[in-house]
Structure 1
Amino acid sequence: MASAIFVGNGLNRCYPVLHSWGGMLDSLAERLGVTGKSNASFSMEFERIANAALKSRCFTGDRAFWQMKSDIVGPMLDPQKKPQLLQKRLMDLPVQELLTTNYDYMLEYAADPHFFEHGVKSGSAEIRYSLFRKQAAGGKTIRHIHGEAKAPSSVCLGFEHYAGALEKLRSLLLAHEKGARDVVLFNLLRGDRESTGSFAELFFTHDLFFVGYGLDRVEMDVWWLLTYRAFLMNANYRGMAPFVKNRIVFYRVGTETESFLQLCSLLDSLNVEVVCMEPPEGNYEAGYLQILEEIQGQL
């Protein structure tokens, strides 16, 4: 079975020079003059900043969210920030498909040092959502499932955007096809139709390795894919269990806190394998390098 890797922002957080979610939001709040206690949830922190800015009339009108998102991702189109060791090692792995929730192009840049010289173009004709959004670099496909810097309206921030993305995703996979046996996903898994080209299929058709991803509970599109896959497997809904044969492995670098153990219990019920790596002497880069070596051995 083919494999794919799901990349979160954890790798970027190892390097202060790169784009971290927390740093992006802190910079946005500072530029807008938004004060107050920050929120622990990345997505809800954007809601706090955005609505504080709207209340103070920093932005007005229908374009306010587009302006804020453009402000966040604008620096990501500047190639002065270089990919680091982890991005380079990741792109050396023998997989063709990578999914990422990052808006930047550090993965592409790691695979192709001339990526920015070619002129970055939006990876999809989609304006707001990212079911089919992808870039190509170094012979690999990088799917920006929560949007990309070149298309600010696609940047998935806030509950309303996540809810819309989930609606689009469900409408695609669970649509009944005229003249076909069943819904799109079931027809696909049985081999009765061609691929839709959406990133969502990989959750059912590829061994999927999560690296550097926090699985924030607001990211409802990813959670729905995991829970629906588990439903098909555990309930054998419509006889689909034999057709869902892939592995999903969630890697984490960090300590086994109580909240993480609760997450492990949840993921175990969803047929997701969990591997927790203690960062050697607090060195998160070294921890991620060990994880990438382990994944290498399974490909």
Structure 2
Amino acid sequence: MKDLALLIGNGVNAISKGITWDNLLDNLLAFCKDDCSIKDKQKPFPLFYEEIFLNAFKLKRIGKELALKEFIAQNVSRIEANEIHELIRNIAPAHVITTNYDFLLEGSEPQKNDGLVYENLYSIFRRYEIGTTTFWHIHGDCRSPMSINLGYEHYGGQLQKMRNYAASVPDYKSNRIVKRSLVKRLQQGKEFEIIQSWIDLFFVKDIHIIGLTLDFVETDLWWLLTYRARQLLYKQKIKFTNNITYYIPEAFVKTACFKLDLLKANGVEIKVINKAHGISYYKEILSSI
């Protein structure tokens, strides 16, 4: 086992056969019999999801949002595994954080959620322990369709929960978690014996961000990176020495230059890989960490 954390996005799935995000949008529109909502790259996906959902509800094409999210879970489950999923399991990192809803990284669907707090909608504690690796599905998963984070409202609620956990007293009934903010725990300067949430990892473990576009619609992750940087550089009340590294193919650097500038400002190291996005690209990254 390697004592590090990987933050893995849909890029690892994108090299597999199966449904793409563009396919998913087309399927959503067809499922809702929606001839009003028009796909456009200028529409941020979380807001476009809200447009699809609200139009479908107004036109009585669906009764509950659960039907839409169950449909999404079924579609996402059609993505096929590839050798990178297996390679990640063989590396056996201590933690795998993922924005993906499927269980391709685990290799099979887990039987139970091992989170310290039961969550139906949000994903602050959602985790699955398999072997020596803890898998954190931070945007929900297919076992619990309502947890799948797609819409603007869901992103807003997730961000609210994240900030409450980090900066104030967590408002959970569970007696299995420490009822102090993450900041207070970090200020005590004690080593974290128990990782309660994936949010903890951003302050105590080296994190390698792989296959994640990190579009600006990912408001939860951008907030966390900014919050971490402010604690370290501006408020300076917390000492932590972990590193966060973002990997990107060289061919994408020019179009992503503004995003890379923002990541650097937030204390994230950029590593450019001189390979096209694909199997060999991920193999080179994983062999280097």
- Same fold by TM-score greater than 0.5: yes
Q: Which of 252, 269, 280 in structure 2 is aligned with 1:286?
A: 280
User: How many corresponding residue pairs?
Assistant: 274
State the Cα distance separating 1:34 from its structure 2 match: 2.3
In the other structure, the counterpart of 1:51 is: 54
State the Cα distance separating 1:51 from its structure 2 match: 2.5
Return the structure number with greater helix share.
1
Q: Secondary structure at the match of 1:34?
A: coil
Amino acid in the other structure paired with 2:106? E
Unpaired runs of 5+ residues, structure 1, are 110-114
State the Cα distance separating 1:66 from its structure 2 match: 1.7
Q: Percent identity, please.
A: 28
Q: In structure 2, do the counterparts of structure 1 residues 74 and 123 end up closer, same or farther at CA, with 3 Å as the change threshold?
A: farther
Q: Secondary structure at the match of 1:255?
A: helix
In the other structure, the counterpart of 1:219 is: 218
Residues 247, 272 of structure 2: 8 Å contact kept? yes
State the Cα distance separating 1:196 from its structure 2 match: 5.8
TM-score by length of 1: 0.82
In the other structure, the counterpart of 1:154 is: 147
Q: Secondary structure at the match of 2:287?
A: helix
Distance 1:68 1:254 in 2: 37
Residues 120, 150 of structure 1: 8 Å contact kept? no
State the Cα distance separating 1:158 from its structure 2 match: 1.1
Distance 2:23 2:249 in 1: 20
Amino acid in the other structure paired with 2:73? V
Q: In structure 2, do the counterparts of structure 1 residues 192 and 254 end up closer, same or farther at CA, with 3 Å as the change threshold?
A: closer
State the Cα distance separating 1:72 from its structure 2 match: 0.5
TM alignment of 1:85-234, pairs within 5 A: 85-109=83-107, 115-116=108-109, 120-124=111-115, 125-176=118-169, 183-188=181-186, 190-191=189-190, 195=194, 197-234=196-233
Amino acid in the other structure paired with 1:232? Q
State the Cα distance separating 1:53 from its structure 2 match: 1.7
Distance 2:252 2:97 in 1: 26
State the Cα distance separating 1:69 from its structure 2 match: 0.7
Q: In structure 2, do the counterparts of structure 1 residues 284 and 194 end up closer, same or farther at CA, with 3 Å as the change threshold?
A: closer
Distance 2:275 2:8 in 1: 18
Quick check: 225-234 or 30-39, which moved more? 30-39
Q: Quick check: 1:271 aligned with 2:272?
A: no
TM alignment of 1:62-77, pairs within 5 A: 64-76=64-76
Unpaired runs of 5+ residues, structure 2, are 171-177
Q: In structure 2, do the counterparts of structure 1 residues 58 and 8 end up closer, same or farther at CA, with 3 Å as the change threshold?
A: same
Residues 232, 240 of structure 2: 8 Å contact kept? yes
In the other structure, the counterpart of 1:112 is: none
Residues 16, 81 of structure 2: 8 Å contact kept? no
Residues 195, 201 of structure 2: 8 Å contact kept? no
Q: In structure 2, do the counterparts of structure 1 residues 57 and 276 end up closer, same or farther at CA, with 3 Å as the change threshold?
A: farther
Distance 1:195 1:39 in 2: 44
Amino acid in the other structure paired with 2:261? S
Q: In structure 2, do the counterparts of structure 1 residues 264 and 193 end up closer, same or farther at CA, with 3 Å as the change threshold?
A: closer
In the other structure, the counterpart of 2:173 is: none
Amino acid in the other structure paired with 2:40? N
Cα shift readout 1:155-204 (whole Å, capped 9, x = no counterpart): 11111111111111111121259xx9x84323235118764611100011
Residues 21, 42 of structure 1: 8 Å contact kept? no
TM-score by length of 2: 0.85
State the Cα distance separating 1:275 from its structure 2 match: 1.9
Quick check: 223-232 or 46-55, which moved more? 46-55
Q: In structure 2, do the counterparts of structure 1 residues 48 and 229 end up closer, same or farther at CA, with 3 Å as the change threshold?
A: same
Q: Secondary structure at the match of 1:217?
A: coil
Distance 1:231 1:255 in 2: 31
In the other structure, the counterpart of 1:9 is: 10
